[in-house]
Amino acid sequence: MRVASRSLVAIGGGYALAAASAAAGAIGFQWFGMARSDATMAATMLSFIVYAIAGMWAFGCASVTRAWVGIGLPGLALALLAWVLTRGVQS
């Protein structure tokens, strides 16, 4: 069960964390004046690194709970940040 739980957090949680970081990064880069297409490309490229690190984190933690919290809380924080920053960016 522990391996299945770590696999679930690595695959699903890592994907959610990478998606939230891509969204927050793209909006944040735009907020700092980067062109929309460049901001999206840069944030997407960085999200691949985030996904790889999340996968390694899930299997490198001492406990399954720490893996879930360590991936879930930053994912929620980045999703909230993306939601907050969308109010300041003009389309």
DSSP 24: H
Tokens 């720490």 appear where?
66
Q: What is the pLDDT of residues 34-61, one digit of tens each?
A: 999 999 999 999 999 999 999 999 999 9
CA gap 42, 89 in Å, rounded: 17
In 3-state terms, what secondary structure has residue 59?
A: helix
Which long-range contacts link 11-14 to residues 24+ away (Cβ below 8 Å)? 11/55, 13/54, 13/58, 13/68, 13/71, 13/72, 13/75, 14/50, 14/51, 14/54, 14/55, 14/58, 14/71
Position 91, amino acid: S
As a dihedral over the C-alpha atoms of residue 66, residue 67, residue 68, residue 69, rounded to 10 degrees, the angle is 50
- pLDDT, the chain, mean: 93
pLDDT score, position 90: 58
Res 89 pLDDT > 70: no
Question: Which of the four pLDDT bands, split at 50, 70 and 90, describes residue 86?
Answer: confident
Res 68 pLDDT > 60: yes
pLDDT score, position 31: 87
